[in-house]
Amino acid sequence: MVDVPRELVQYVSRLLAAERRTRGTRTGARALTCFRQALMVLVWFRKGEDVALLGAGFGISRATAYRYLAEGITVLTTQAEDLHTALRRVADDGWSHVILDGKLFDCDRLTETTLSVKGETIDAWYSGKHRDFGANIQAVARPDGLPIWTSPAMPGHLHDLTCAQTLGVTAALNWAATELDLPTLADSGYEGAGQGIKTPVKQNTDGSRLAPDNRFYNRLLRSLRWQGERGFAILIGRWRTLRHTTASPRRIGDIVTAALHLTVNIQVVREE
């Protein structure tokens, strides 16, 4: 039993069936039907079960379970919109702005190293800010908190602004502000991100109090941004596997994107 709508299982099943037709898979050649494979994928997302134990529960080997799971993630990821399309849709729906936020998704420790800005050898996937290993994921959300797009995974040692610039997120948001009249609200970690990306005014270095207009601006920004920053909480609260993954951290971006697509489809099912 898994507490997701049956319509969602059927939707994922149809995606898997289309994938099998594309690959030319013969009828009866797979250990699981499309429906049961979809169910296995959703159990993993919803409960974060160990893949080997999950495979045993469905009567398949560990290797087959990993292969079926990877296939399920892939078919879901390919359904996701690119950022420009998602921004156009938000503007067409009449929303006034979007929210930009980043999060470190927890993963196991890796041996991959890189050089810091000071030239020192550091763990590529270790975040000094969070004091944990993980992948940095950027997300753009509607004002009501529902994410519309999530990014590929970036090494955890990188800051949010660096990730957003490297992935072209800031450039897309600058375009949206100019062409779609769709500004972006973000926290102070994105200061200097460019036109249309609104960040708080930082405190004075001498410790003096901000001017009244700057304090009011920050208060207004917080009041508009807080709900949009629920986006990651919506995903993690619904899909337990996002709380910690033993998969390659470079795959975390695909896993989060797949989880977002599932979340959006649950919203559609409920509205219908």
Query: In the predicted model, is pLDDT for residue 271 greater than 60?
Result: no
Residue 29, pLDDT score: 85
Q: What confidence tier does 27 reach under pLDDT thresholds 50, 70, 90?
A: confident
Percent share of the chain, pLDDT over 90: 66
Query: In the predicted model, is pLDDT for residue 231 greater than 90?
Result: no
Residue whose tokens read 């989880």: 259
CB burial of residue 249 (10 Å; 0-12, 13-18, 19+): buried
| Cα distance between residue 172 and residue 233, in whole Å | 24
| Cα distance between residue 11 and residue 100, in whole Å | 29
The sign of the CA dihedral 20, 23, 27, 28 is negative
Percent share of the chain, pLDDT over 70: 97
- Rounded to the nearest 5°, which phi and psi values hold at 82? -75, 165
Query: In the predicted model, is pLDDT for residue 228 greater than 60?
Result: yes
**121: CB partners within 8 A, 6+ apart:** 113, 114, 115
Among 108-122, 192-206, 208-222, which is the least confidently predicted range? 108-122
pTM to 2 decimals?
A: 0.91
Residue ranges in 97-241 assigned as alpha helix (H) = 160-166, 169-179, 212-225, 231-238
- Condensed to tens digits (0 to 9), the pLDDT of residues 50-101 reads 999 999 999 999 999 999 999 999 999 999 999 999 999 999 999 999 999 9
Residue 241, pLDDT score: 93
Average pLDDT over residues 4-29: 90
Q: Check: CB of residue 234 under 8 Å from CB of residue 147.
A: yes
Residue 270, pLDDT score: 59
Among 81-90, 164-173, 200-209, which is the least confidently predicted range? 200-209
User: Cα Rg for the chain, rounded, in angstroms?
Assistant: 21
Residue 45, pLDDT score: 95
- Condensed to tens digits (0 to 9), the pLDDT of residues 103-154 reads 999 988 777 888 887 888 888 888 888 888 999 999 999 998 899 999 999 9
Residue 74, pLDDT score: 95
Q: Check: CB of residue 149 under 8 Å from CB of residue 139.
A: yes
Quick count: other Cβ atoms within 10 Å of Cβ 124? 18
Structure tokens belonging to residue 110: 């890796």
The whole-angstrom distance between residue 174's C-alpha and the CA centroid of its chain comes to 20
Closest by Cα among 156, 138, 155 to 98: 138
Structure tokens belonging to residue 18: 């289309």
Q: Check: CB of residue 132 under 8 Å from CB of residue 213.
A: no
Q: Tell me what the pLDDT averaged over the chain comes to.
A: 90
| Cα distance between residue 189 and residue 194, in whole Å | 13
Quick count: other Cβ atoms within 10 Å of Cβ 191? 13
Query: In the predicted model, is pLDDT for residue 11 greater than 70?
Result: yes
What single letter denotes the amino acid at residue 95? W
Closest by Cα among 203, 196, 101, 200 to 148: 101
- Rounded to the nearest 5°, which phi and psi values hold at 181? 55, 45
